């Protein structure tokens, strides 16, 4: 047989061999994590930054960081969603530090109960009161409220993001909501 025309033997068998996945952590399915969390991460970051275009940039940066660090994810230390929100939180806080300004709400929270014009006016007034009350809270309290109500995280996930115990996260959240209620009641 001519050496230049040699045929490969066993090519189909070689192609059938499974190629090991590149991800070091089989517990982290990044595509599914992205699809399941992107809207919540954006809502959380937008609530902190109050700037839609900056929130888009910060979310993109957070997902890029998470993708690059996906091999360092350790399922023993927490859930993927809490890990991702920790990265997003740090990215948002970095942006706030760069801007040297206080975070506040991004916009009106939709009122699903409002039906008529009267209800729309009342809903707008309530949202204005809540927005003003949130603006008066300490940044840590605003962060807790955003994690719980904008991002929809459980107390366990909030604890993982903040690096505290679950009971401590619940207590901190309870106190932040109490301060928010008092601020809403005090707003004329």
**Distance between CA atoms of 34 and 88, rounded to whole angstroms?**
12
For residue 86 the two structure tokens come to 């920790």
User: Total structural domains in the chain?
Assistant: 1
Contact between 101 and 135 under an 8 Å Cβ cutoff? The reply is no
Asked whether residue 111 is assigned to any structural domain, the reply reads no
Domain that holds residue 46: 27-106+117-186
How confident is the model at residue 57, as a pLDDT? 93
**Distance between CA atoms of 77 and 91, rounded to whole angstroms?**
20
Query: What are the C-alpha distances in Å from 122 to residues 24, 113, 118, 183?
Result: 52, 11, 6, 18
Asked whether residue 137 is assigned to any structural domain, the reply reads yes
How confident is the model at residue 84, as a pLDDT? 92
**Distance between CA atoms of 8 and 1, rounded to whole angstroms?**
13
How confident is the model at residue 160, as a pLDDT? 87
Q: Which residues of the chain have pLDDT under 50?
A: 8, 11-12, 14-25, 101-107, 114
- The set of residues, in sequence order, having a beta carbon less than 8 Å from that of 42 and lying 6+ positions away, is 55, 56, 59
How confident is the model at residue 120, as a pLDDT? 67
| Whole-structure pTM value | 0.58
pLDDT in tens, 45-88: 988 888 889 999 999 999 999 999 998 888 888 889 889 999 99
How confident is the model at residue 3, as a pLDDT? 53
Asked whether residue 43 is assigned to any structural domain, the reply reads yes
Asked whether residue 18 is assigned to any structural domain, the reply reads no
Q: Domain holding 140: CATH number? A: 1.10.10.10
Asked whether residue 15 is assigned to any structural domain, the reply reads no
């Amino acid at each position: 047989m001519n050496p230049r025309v040699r045929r490969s033997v066993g090519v189909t068998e070689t192609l059938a061999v499974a190629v090991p996945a590149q991800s070091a952590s089989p517990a982290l399915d990044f595509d599914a994590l992205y699809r399941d969390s992107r809207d919540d991460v954006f809502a959380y970051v937008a609530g902190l930054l109050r700037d839609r275009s900056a929130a888009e940039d910060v979310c993109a940066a957070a997902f890029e960081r998470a993708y690059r660090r996906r091999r360092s994810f350790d399922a023993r230390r927490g859930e993927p969603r809490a890990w991702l929100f920790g990265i997003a939180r740090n990215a948002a806080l970095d942006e706030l530090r760069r801007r040297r300004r206080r975070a506040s709400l991004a916009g009106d929270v939709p009122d699903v109960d409002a039906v008529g014009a009267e209800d729309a006016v009342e809903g707008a007034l309530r949202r204005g009161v809540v927005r003003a009350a949130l603006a008066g809270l300490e940044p840590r309290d605003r962060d807790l409220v955003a994690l719980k109500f904008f991002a929809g995280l459980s107390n366990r996930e909030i604890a993982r993001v903040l690096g505290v115990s679950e009971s401590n996260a619940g207590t901190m959240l309870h106190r932040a909501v109490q301060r928010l209620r008092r601020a809403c009641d005090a707003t004329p």
